[in-house]
């Protein structure tokens, strides 16, 4: 199963991706983690990314796509993957579709975890307190939510138009949200 997890910061993507990874037996690929690993490994794409980041610029879609192409060519992705943090805009969504087609892999679903913005602010305020994360203060969170809404709304619509969007309520106990995701994407693999 090849999945993209969509959802605002604090919607539970990372938490649910870890659970889905175990349940579906496919890797969880976070573009942030992938980028850091490539830089640390000193790969050609990692060195390009390091240079871009040293200038304070954002890593280009071309570099990220190259890293994804390399990652998708590894044996552990043969039966699928869970992609988190990509695509973030329409150009990336179209590029991901093209990449998968060029690799002869079919895309299964984009899962959007929906959580009310005020609940996200509360969740992240709790995380900020527990983990000492300054970037999770209410003002910063609201700004990140605005940016997410502006950039990701077209991506959600892209997957809706392609008949690949599954919307799941991300509110409630972790087990309940997980069960909703599995029932939506793979009812035959639902936990009984």
Judge whether 127 counts as a catalytic residue. yes
Q: Are 115 and 7 a contacting pair, CB within 8 Å?
A: yes
Q: Which of 36, 106, 129, 133 is catalytic?
A: 133
14 vs 61: CA distance, rounded Å: 22
Judge whether 88 counts as a catalytic residue. yes
Q: Which of 88, 106, 180, 189 is catalytic?
A: 88
Q: Which of 13, 19, 123, 180 is catalytic?
A: 13
Q: Which of 21, 50, 127, 142 is catalytic?
A: 127
Q: Where are the alpha helices (DSSP H) in the chain?
A: 13-24, 31-41, 44-54, 61-72, 90-102, 117-131, 138-161, 174-185
Q: Which of 21, 50, 69, 144 is catalytic?
A: 144
Judge whether 74 counts as a catalytic residue. no
Judge whether 160 counts as a catalytic residue. no
Judge whether 50 counts as a catalytic residue. no
Residue 158 makes CB contacts below 8 A (sequence gap 6+) with 90, 93, 94
Catalytic residues: 13, 88, 127, 133, 144
């Amino acid at each position: 199963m090849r999945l993209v997890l969509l959802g605002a910061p604090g919607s539970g993507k990372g938490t649910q991706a870890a659970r889905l990874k175990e349940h579906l037996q496919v890797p969880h690929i976070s573009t942030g983690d992938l980028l850091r690993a490539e830089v640390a490994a000193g790969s050609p794409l990692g060195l390009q990314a390091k240079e871009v980041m040293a200038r304070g610029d954002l890593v280009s879609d071309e570099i990220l796509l190259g890293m994804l192409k390399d990652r998708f060519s590894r044996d552990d992705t043969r039966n699928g993957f869970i992609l988190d943090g990509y695509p973030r805009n329409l150009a990336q969504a179209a590029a991901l579709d093209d990449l998968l087609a060029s690799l002869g892999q079919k895309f299964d679903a984009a899962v959007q975890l929906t959580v009310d913005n005020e609940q996200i602010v509360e969740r992240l305020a709790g995380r900020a307190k527990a983990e000492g994360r300054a970037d999770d203060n209410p003002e910063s969170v609201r700004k990140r939510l605005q940016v997410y809404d502006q950039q990701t709304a077209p991506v959600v619509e892209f997957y809706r138009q392609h008949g690949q969007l599954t919307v799941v309520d991300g509110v409630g106990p972790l087990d309940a949200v997980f069960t909703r995701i599995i029932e939506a994407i793979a009812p035959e693999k639902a936990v009984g």
